[in-house]
Amino acid sequence: MATELDTQTPKSKIAFATLTMPDDKKLEIPLPPKTFSTGRKGYFAQIPSFVFENEVYGGQIQIWKKNEKIILTCIH
């Protein structure tokens, strides 16, 4: 039997990551859904740049489901 939580529609399909810098400043990064080239589904954000202590930083955040099994077949 489905519970109320099972039948609720998510309010948003975007995940959020919070970066806490060494000075305790928090940066909230939105992570929209993405299907990666491997076929796994998850969330991704490209961070173009931000300044922290007069240095420029950038990068990526990638999160994907770990419970998916990918089967590789080798033919010799």
So what's the pLDDT on residue 13?
A: 87
Q: Against a cut of 0.75, is the pTM above it? A: no
CA–CA gap between residue 54 and residue 40 (Å, rounded): 37
pLDDT at 12: 64
**C-alpha span between 31 and 2 (Å, rounded):** 29
Q: What is the rounded CA–CA span in Å between residue 67 and residue 44?
A: 18
Segment 19-51, tens digit of pLDDT: 898 999 898 999 999 999 988 889 999 988 888
User: Distance from CA of residue 33 to its chain's centroid?
Assistant: 7
Strand 26-31 with 15-20, pairing: antiparallel
Confidence of residue 5 (pLDDT cuts 50, 70, 90): very low
Q: Is the pLDDT of residue 6 over 50?
A: no
